[in-house]
Amino acid sequence: MASVPSLASTVEQHIASALSAALPEAGAADVLLRRSDRADFQANGILALAKKLKGNPRDLATRVVAALSAPGVVQDVEVSGPGFLNVTVTDRAIVETLAARLADDRLGVAHAPNAGATVVDYAQPNVAKEMHVGHLRSAVIGAAMVEILEFMGETVIRRHHIGDWGTQFGMLIQYLIEHPHELDRSADADAPAPGTGSAAEAPSEQAPSEQAPSAEAGEAAMSNLNRLYKASRAAFDSDEEFKARARDRVVALQAGEKETLALWQRFVDESKVYFYSVFGKLDMEVRDPDIVGESGYNDKLAETCRILEETGVAERSEGALCVFFDDVKGPDGKRVPLIVQKSNGGFGYAATDLSAIRDRVGELGADTLLYVVDVRQSLHFKMVFETARRAGWLNDDVHASQLAFGTVLGKDGKPFKTREGETVRLVDLLDEAVDRATAVVREKAEKAGLSEQEIEENGRYVGIGAVKYADLSTSAVRDYKFDLDQMVSLSGDTSVYLQYAYARIRSILRKAGDVSPAPHPELALAPAERALGLHLDRFGETLAEAAAGHEPHKVAAYLYQLASLYTSFYDQCPVLKADTPEQVANRLFLCELTGRTLEKGLALLGIRAPERL
């Protein structure tokens, strides 16, 4: 349970001591240790230091080398170029460090030093509406962020800010009152009631959303909601009297009239059946208490506006309560305000988000708020955050940021649409990914000796993993092409490639039988072993960076490189047929640690690693 310092940090410390011994006048100088192609590490800090001390960098570097004493860790250090230090570590240090990692159930990864409490706002679909690829991105990226932060010791509070409030409910509820059986799924004889999804339909026996409704129940719920949405919209647009009744219904809803609220609740519950079935398909845990939609902040809205107005953060303009920003202007050069209350008294998206900030900071005690939301909402969040800062709800100790993600594009590079120009249903996409993945798995299945049940299960893990990995493997803010052929390809930067690397490792370990993996620090390492070993040692650093910078793609990139380095190792270094029993054990040990690291890393990204593939 003890964290293991990385070789990079150990070397950095040794150089820092040598530096202060050789050049006491340098004070606390930065060593600036980097990875390097020429050696294991390169220290660049002496260049800046030489400038400061007005000395010759190569001379200073030579003095630092003379003062360096790191027996057992540093194999070789030389001055290179204008005054860099190239450092090579001993094979022994690599193996010993890795052995300590394998012995630890956190793989030696330290907790973040100043862990706090973060609210992650992600997976926020809208009631009575189909989920789309944007909702998928938020869910996948947000879930990975939650796992990474939690693993690093952060207290994470999940918030699914679903769109469950607004004037459209007037029309929907009024229509339901006039057509009371429109939401009955029991009319569909085969559709099970919510919460009765059988294990066979859930993504696995450890289905995370324990009561995930079946795919059928979810589909039935959504198709009713869709039909109702369209029918009520048609009535609203064509029938003036219905329109008037729908408007009155909005008033009743906002006044909290009982019957109206109960019907509103039916829409929310029905939508949740659908949401949970999709999250179940995505093999993703979403917990009911964490779903706090827009309506959850209704009782705070008036107060939020009152505070903003009283403190002068917001002002009345043409009847509306507005916040202005000097740098937010429209095409006409006039400032575009954030409207917190409309002139008719209604509250909108901004008032809700501001109230949510008060709740998350004041009541939940968070010091970081992270919003995993489409980049097209960036202006909204910029204005909301700035307003909250002016009001003092955000400050030097409490930060908010948006983890903005780009648009999902079709293969043709245009926003993702069907051939008929309709938005693609998320469920269809996921089903197709699983179908394609199952075909890929099936092709190799015979060799791996998989049963039909395993093929189907692996097909789901590979297909859903492929979709998640594609979302996570590029920097979030970039648009990306949704290309299923590429996603389930066995070569290249895909999750399947990582999953196969893992399965291959497990297969070798099974074949090893009684021969146990064991580190042998006395052995010399081949170049491919060193490269793999040094990369394995960087897992903790990578996670720390991904957590601090809210960049899950760094974990994906790390894992891809790990699998690539493992492939080279596997090609160049026979494992079970190595020369000596010690070498076999040591290579098995490298296999084992690589497997554990891959499995953990993939789990943080929400991707399963089957034992056999």
**Which residues contribute to the site for ligand ARG (CB under 6 A)?**
121, 124, 126, 161, 163, 353, 371, 373
Neighbours of 267 (CB within 10 A): 21
- In the complex, the smallest distance separating the C-beta of residue 399 from ligand ARG, rounded to whole angstroms, is 16
Q: Which residue reads 């939690």 in tokens?
A: 150
By C-beta, is 385 or 461 nearer to ligand ARG? 385
Q: How far is the CB of 264 from ligand ARG (least distance, A)?
A: 17
Q: How far is the CB of 160 from ligand ARG (least distance, A)?
A: 9
Non-local (6+) Cβ contacts of 544 within 8 A are: 110, 112, 152
The residues, ordered by sequence, that sit 6+ positions from 487 with a Cβ below 8 Å of its Cβ are: 433, 466, 467, 469, 470, 494, 495
We find the least distance from the C-beta atom of residue 407 to ligand ARG, in angstroms, to be: 13
What backbone phi and psi angles, to 5 degrees, belong to 275? -55, -50
Q: Select 130 or 353, whichever has its Cβ closest to ligand ARG.
A: 353
Q: Which amino acid is at 487?
A: M
Rounding to the nearest 10 degrees, give the CA dihedral for residues 137, 413, 127, 205: -50
In the complex, the smallest distance separating the C-beta of residue 90 from ligand ARG, rounded to whole angstroms, is 51
CA 489: distance to chain centroid?
22
Reported for 240-246, long-range contacts at CB under 8 A and 24+ positions apart, including other chains, are 242/174, 242/175, 242/178, 245/174, 246/170, 246/171, 246/174, 246/175
Minimum CB distance to ligand ARG, residue 353 (Å): 5
Nearer residue to ligand ARG within complex by CB, 40 or 294? 294
CB of 222 to ligand ARG, least distance (A): 15
**Which ranges of 23-166 does DSSP label H, i.e. alpha helix?**
45-53, 57-67, 91-103, 133-151
Q: How far is the CB of 371 from ligand ARG (least distance, A)?
A: 6
- The nearer residue to ligand ARG, 161 or 587, going by C-beta atoms, is 161
Judged by CB, which is closer to ligand ARG: 285, or 353? 353
Dist CA 79 CA 85 (whole Å)? 5
Nearer to ligand ARG, 97 or 126 (CB): 126
C-alpha–C-alpha distance, residues 18 and 43, integer Å: 12
Residue 124 CB, nearest distance to ligand ARG (Å)? 4
Q: Closest approach of Cβ 84 to ligand ARG, in Å? A: 47
Quick one: which of 437, 397, 432, 398 has its CA closest to 416? 432
- Whether the CB-CB separation of 233 and 171 falls below 8 Å is answered with yes
Bridge partners of residue 34, in order along the sequence: 42
Question: Where are the extended beta strands (E) located within 206-359?
Answer: 315-317, 320-323, 338-341
By beta-carbon proximity to ligand ARG, the closer residue of 42 and 352 is 352
Instruction: Select 29 or 373, whichever has its Cβ closest to ligand ARG.
Output: 373
Residue whose CB is less far from ligand ARG, 121 or 283: 121
Count the Cβ atoms, other than its own, within 10 Å of residue 72: 11
The smaller minimum CB distance to ligand ARG, of residues 121 and 285, is found at 121
Residue 456 CA to residue 28 CA, distance in Å, equals: 58
